[in-house]
Structure formats: C-alpha cells, structure tokens
Structure 1
C-alpha cells in the first residue's frame, strides 16, 4: 500500500493555468488511497476476531483472512492504476499548455522590442506617469534643432526650453490631465522657434505626455493653428476691451441686423444686457442715419443727433461695411460740440470786447496776414476798411503807413522794418516805442501766439505822458496845499514811520519842527503827545499804523486837549499800506453843539409838557362843551318848556357855535395826538360804499342850504378795504365840508372811489373857482384858511386829512385850476403796513 506514494510523488507538478487542476487531482487520489488503507485495516481486525474455514480447492486450503487480504490488495492496486493513468494524462496536457505559453511569451517579447524601438525614435519623446506614482519615465528623443534638453530633469522643466506662453499653457493642461484625466492637444513653441505637437492622454494605469516634431507641412499647419489660436485669443481680448469701452460699438450681419453690441450700446438703448438689445433689435441711431451707413465697401463718417436716456446727444458715427456685414462706432461729441459752440461764442465775445476797447489791437497769422483788427486800430491809423478786410501782409501794411506819412521816417527803412518783423521768429513778447509825425507817442507790444502769428497792441501814451507831467505839477500843488491847510495831516508808512506831515499837525499838537525831521517812528510821537490829551487817542493811532489786521477799516473820533482845544480825528487807510491821520479843530463847533443839546433838552421838556397837556386837558376841554351842547339840545325840546322866538334863535346860535367849537377842539386834539405819536388806528374791514354814503349824509343839510347837488360814483371801487373806519369818515367829512364851503350856489360836488390796483382812491371834486397858486402852497398848513369860501374856518380840515391819510400809509393830491374847480384825491393802501408820523 505504501508503494503508491512514491509513484504519485514522482509526477512533476505542472506550472501555469493547469496547476490548479493538477492540485485537485492529486488531492482526490490521496483521499482515495487513504480510504482504502483504512478499509484494509478494519477488515484485518475483523478477520482476527473470527476464523472461517473455507473449503479446500485443489489441495490448497485458503483461509478467510487471506481471502480478504487478497481482495483488498486487488482493489488497492486497481485504484492506484487508475490514478496513475489520470496523472499521466494530466501531465501530458500540462506539457502541451506550457509549450503554447512559451510561444506566447516569445511573441510578447518581440512586440515589446518593437514598441521600445518605436518609442526610441528621434522625432518624439514620451513622458509616462504611473497611477499613484510621482516619478515619471521619459523615453524617446527629439531633434537637436528643437532645443529640447536630453537630461530628464532639465526636460521636465518646461519653462526653461519652451516659450513662456507655451510653457504656461502646457503646465495648466498637464495639471488637468494628472488631476482629472482630461486629455489635451497643444502646439508648443520652443525658445528656438521650433513647433512641437503635444498630446496628453490617460489610461487605466498610466498618464502619458507625448512630444512629437512636425514635418514641414505639419509644421506649417501647426504654425497656422498657433497663429489662429493667437488671433482667437487676441480677438477675445479685443472684444472684451471693446465691451468695456464707454463708446457704443456694434456689428451687423449681411441683412443689416445687429449681431453684436457692447455694454455701452446696451446702456444707451436702455437694455439690461447686450443680448437683450440684440434680441429686441433696439437701434441707437434713427432710421435715416442708418440708411446712410450701410454702403458696402465704404467707410462713412457723419454727425448724428439722437435721444439717449431722455437727453439729446450728438454722436460722431464711423461705419465700415463689406459683403459680410458692417461695424460701427459712435463717439459722443455732445461735450465737444458744446465746447466748440462755447469756443466760437467766446471768440465772438472776445472779438466784440476787443472791438470796444480804446486800445488798438490787430492779429496776424503765421503767414503774416491780417486776420483781425478792432475799430480802435482802424481809427488809430485812419486806414480804409476795404484795405484791412483784404487781409494784407504785415510788411505791406507798414509800407502803406510809411507812404501815407503816418510813420516817422527812418534812416534805414528796410533794416528798421526787418527788425520789427523779426518778432515773428521770437518766443517772448517784444516792445517798441513809435513817435509818430503828428506828435503822438505809441507803445507797441508784439505778443507771439501759440499757433504762430503775432497779436499787435498799439497803446496811445500821448495823453498818459501828458497826464504824468500834469500829475507831477499837481503833486507840487498838493504839497503846497497841505502845507497851507488848517486841518492837520500826518501820513505813516507800513513800518510806522512818519512819511508826510503839514504845519497844522505840528501846530495842533505843539510838536517842534526839529522833532519831526527825518522819518520818526509813531511810538516816539505817542510818547510826546500822550500828556497833551486826556484820554489820549495815540494808542489807537499806533495800533492802526503798525497793526496787521486783515480788514482795515477807517475810523474817527474826538479828543479834548489839556488846553481846552477839541480835535476831531480820523484814521484813513491808504491803498499802498500807509495810514493817514487827520485832525480838525472843532472847538467852536463843539461849543455850539453843546448849546444846541441844551436847547434840544429844553424842547424835549416842552414837548413832554405838550403831551401831558394833550392827555390831561383833553377831557377838561371836551366835557364842558359836551355839557353845553347837551343842555342846548335839552332847551330846544318842547318838553322842557316853551321858548320865545328870540330865545329859540339864541339857543340855535349857542348850539351851532358849540358844535363848531367842539369840532375845532377835536381837530386840535387829534393833531396834537398825531404829533405826539400816541394815536393808534383801529384797523378793521371798512365797507367803501357805506362809508362814502355815511360821510355824505353828514353834510347833506349844508348842501341843501345852498342848493348843491351831490353825485356819488363807487361802481369801480372794491367792496371793502382795511383801515380805521372812523378816521376815513372824518377824512371824507372834512373834504365834503370843504367842498360845500367853496362850491357855488346851485353847484355840484362829485364823490367817487375806484380800485387803483394797489389800493383804494377817493376823489372829492367841486366846481368852484379853484385855488390860487399862493393858496395851494399853504393849503396843508395848520391854521391857514382862505377868505374865498362862505365860512371862514380854523384852517385845520385839510391838515387833518393829510395827517390821517399819511398815518394809513397813503398820499393826498390836489388838482385845481381856474375854471376847473378843485379835486382832492386821497390814495389808501388795501391794508396799512404800519403807523407813521403825519407831516405837519
């Protein structure tokens, strides 16, 4: 049984794919052999326990134990034989498979050799990164003229041998390949100018970067592709730049529709985005302007006016059109147009201003031709305007002035003229003095212009020179005048030193002449003059002459010297930083002023007494008269008792006289109240028509006594205005009473009122004889009465009218004349602004 193990163990174990099948067969044979050995052992044990006598066969006797052993041996040998046959077949199969594998390995080795040969070609180089590995493998080689380094690390430093732009693009694409497996194809340019094709690919196990050189055709194609990429990048950059410009730009297709616009265009047409402007076809320019910009193959420029965001804009539009479409740009020239108009207006204004100057001005261009002249230039030289308008050259103009005898003869005329015209080559202004044959002296200034040419300024200094001579004479006269003035004058410079003084100054302050010799400082004068006045003003004088105040204001004052002289002083600041002190002896005026003040105080006391009289006596005067009038009316009543005709006549005389006396007293008190300034108006709404009628009713009896008709016209008057109704009635009553006094028997009095636009006007007219001029001059004076009326009054009626009207802020006028009667016109404002004193 144990002899089978060496047989099984001698069978060689196959390699490769058949190894697993071989191991399974070997495990099966081992398990079968072990089972057979165990079965044999169990049978042998059973046989030892029982002995069975088997029959004898041919003289041979076989026991039961022997038979079992023989059977077991035969079974074991059969199983071993079968296992050996399986192992032999399996080995033969393994040998065949090994032969096939050896052929496959040979083919793969050949393929690997071919691949390495292909990878090591001189026109390409490959860099391989294993998955999860950091160190790449580099195989192959590139031509030497490409400039690619052979050493591995130097080759992988792309920025050292590729152009900066190509190296940056390769680094970005390679990082995307390694991180995300993103393939790419690039055209890289070396620093020597050679173009290389660069490909990046990703497999399951590797990342591959391949550099390949081009053939001449491929290189040209690659170079064109590189230029195309550059052009595309430049185009994108340019489009981004155009999109950021503040100037509207647009592109149109063949049909004339918008294909692209920038943001400035979208903002101009009030679109949220450029795409919205394109989709909605919003046009910036009017249709008529667009039609003129669509000619193929033409470049057009025109100025177009349109409305943008509610404002009128002027655009300078440039358009280029061809068969593929058109492009346009609109430059906002609104500000330029406004500046151009402002410049033209300024030039016209400048010309108008120069034309009004008394100084002669003429402008010549770079070609020495006359371009502008003012009227003073034409009047200075007396030239014909047609000649000047023909734009003569400067040299011709000088020759003409010489020929007409308007320029002084020069010993060398040509040399003198060349010297004058040399200013056209000068940079700085030049100045000349011309003495003309007619005795005038001209100061000539030649001012070069920035764009070439000269502006000539001719200043006639004849009068100035004459004025200077007269000025010098006047200075001498003024010096003599100052010396003989009674007013003291002293002038101090900005440094506080005395520049000028007259004898009156020295006399008023008692300063010796020797003390003022030289430019003495004002502080020394203060020391000398302080004891002479109390209080002394010299501290203020020193501060004014030596101070540094930003705002220098003149001041004045008065001081009294210890000798009783009163001086009125003034500090006057002169324009050149100097300070002038003036002193006037006003001793007599001060004494008169003091006397007047004393008299004024006495008058004020008298006025106060008058006011007190008005306030206290008013009641004392009116009360007795009121009692007299009241008792007179009581006596005239029938209920009091009968009166004889004579008594009734006396009572009527007493009543009328008392009324007249009360009226006079009231008028005097009213005027006194006005003069005292204590009268107050009771301003309220005054009905015009009712007030006029009420005033007329008060004098109807007097009109009826003399058969005088009264006409009232208030149709043009307002319904009311604001005033003191009682005073208005009193004014109208006085005017009507005055008219009743001067109107003839059977005459006519007209009362009218109307709206003047800013107030109310009342007019009372009588057809009497009118007033004489001497009466008209004193008509408003108090206690001035005329003897021409029926009744002689106190002469206060019109004075009260004038005072009350002016107290309302109005005016009084009188229209009179022989044969025209007399009309008194009173103008009232609609509402008085305040109370003001009435004129006496």
Structure 2
C-alpha cells in the first residue's frame, strides 16, 4: 500500500474561545505581523471567521483564506477541524498551500467598472435612454417612484430630466451626460434623495447608442405607518430565525468555490474569469454579513433581551479589536493607534458584545477614512462609567446626519459601501442593554468620534 505524503506546511490549535494557543512558525509569524499574540485572539480576519464557523457548525471546513501582513498578500489553503469529544475544545488548523505576492492596486478603469456594477445592483429605478437622453424604457418596483414611472411611460422620448429636479442646476436640460452623472436629484412624491448614474452605451463615441440610467436612493424605503413597521419587523425576525441557518452553508460553499476558482487552485484560468470569481466571493461575504446583522437584529429586539455582564478590561478589548482589523487597515495604509498595553480601563459588560461594538466602530472608520490617515482609540473612566472613543480623520458628518446615524437601515446616502445600515443601530442597542450608551460627535471635514460608554468596575484590590 502506498501512503500519500503529508503536504501540510503548518499546524495550529485554537481553544473553545477561538483563541490561537499554539502555532507553527508560518502561522505564528502572520499572527504577530497582523497585530495578534499567542495565546490571543486570532488577528487573521478570514481565519478567525473560518474557525468560528467550523466550531459553531461542528464541521470540518476547508477553503482559501487571504491576508495582508503590511508588505505581502498571503493566499493559503486552510483546513479547520473541530476536536471530537468533551475532553478538549477548540479546533485543529492545518495549512496545505501558502502563496505570497505583492499587492496590486486596482486601475481607475477597474474601479469605475466596479462602481457601475454596484450602483446597478443598488439602483431602484432602471431606464434606457436614447442618445439625446430621451426615455425609451423604464422599470422600478419602488413604492415612492410609481408616479414617476407612470409619467415617464406616458411620455416616451422626453428627456429624463423633465421628470426630476436636478439639485443646484437651473440650466436648460438635458446637459451633457458627464455633467449629470452622479448628480443629486429630487423626485415629486418621494421623501428620499436620489443620485443619478448615467452609463454611456456605444463606441467609439460614448453615448452614441444611448445611456443606461440608474437612480440610487440615499436610504432604504421604510413606510412610517405602524402596520407596515410591524410587517417589516416580522419579516426581519423570520429572516433571522428561519433563513439564517438555511442560507449560511450554501453561501459559504459558494464563497469557498469562488475562492478556489479565483486563486486558480482548480486549474489555469484567464484573469477575466478570476476577477469574476473574486466578485462572487465578495458578494457572498456581503450576504453573510447581512445575515449576521439580521440575526443580531432579531436577538436585540426580542422581548426581555439582556446581556451577561462581567468584569472586563476595556483597554484589552480595544486592543484585540484593533488587532483583528489590523490587516483591513493596512490594505488602505491606515494606522490604528490602540491604547498602550499598560493602560487598564476596568469596566462591566459582556466581553463579546463590547468587542462586537468596537469592531463595528473601527470597521466603519476604516471603510470611510481616507488612505494614509490614522484611527485613534482612546480610553477614559471614572467611578461610574468607562469609555472608549474611536476617532477617525474622515470627512465627518453634519448635524442632520448625526441625528439619524443610529436609525435602522440608515447609511447617510453611502449607496456603494456594502453596508446594511444596521451596524450602528445594533451597536447602540447593545450599549444600552449593558447600561451604557453610544454617541457620536463630528464636524464636517474634521472626522468623527464615536464614544462607547459602559458601567465602570471598581479597581481590583
């Protein structure tokens, strides 16, 4: 009998809390470069998610993970196996392949095409225009756009600008398409603000065959009657309770297969199709994040929801959150300035919920802060409250935006950020459930400061 050779390059082990407790040099080195420690929380973001999923599902999972250590992009095929029996908890990790490459920046054309695809997916009205921007066809299921759709269909050939109000523009319409692309619009009968996208069709002259018109809203449509709100809440609960376990496994399989294709482990593939696979994997990750948000929404809005308070060090939680998201920050050349290791901030709260809130705040800061900027995490406490401030150098928010930022499904018009608009709503509910609060302070053009406050804990004797 021929025994197949062991192709394992490195091994590691986690405990029941998904902390990395042992690791060979290959994994240990990446863990340290990503800001983590051994023993300590897994700082390699995709590996942490894979371990958590394998442990919760009690299934052996294998897939490609990606990481960035500050200088090189790492692609590895990883297998995670939960330990059997009650004598030992946690998972065994083995690495079969390990590839490194220098990161490549997306070209301007690639970035533009990706933005167009995102806006196409998010648009609530699609129309086809002729070369003079006249209406040919239009389609929308949005409740607050039905009057607009009916009017457009009744007047084919008229410029689309006859049916909307282009913000800040009183010139004769239609203008050149480049001046109208990404313009803000108001629509009679709709309380929402809209962004128009004009995608030219035809070559060599863009627009020679007409245009695709997308209208993207600044926020999701929510009817304000109590009956509709009750229906929405019921739908959300059903999604979180019924669809979450059903969808997770097939979506995870789609992501794993897409990653296998993208990294060309299954065989040679042109770059074009590899990029398609990357888009599929990215969309799958977004769906999983949305499912997580909907599941959390069901939990926190359930009657009698409580947390499990314990004595924690808010400084340690902040440092762990910074370490976990260190790779994401490095990919945008953003520096996370975490509290020093000797700074202790005793507090009372549920560890995993506090970590969840801080991950959301730091993740948002990374998403919206400019490349090359800094994100600072500062601590403060007194006899009653302990606080962690996440301070970014982004574009900031107006007073009107700050007033609605914690509302459900609110995204402040950031239609292409991939978020669900639930993260800050859930985070504030969690903070209040722990006897604390989550607030924001911002000045336009000067960044934003989110402050998490939870009850303080007495210093240890």
TM over 0.5: no
* Greater helix fraction, Structure 1 or Structure 2: 1
Name the TM-score, length of structure 2 as normaliser: 0.44
Name the TM-score, length of structure 1 as normaliser: 0.25
Q: Which has the higher contact order (CA 8 A, sep 6+)?
A: 2
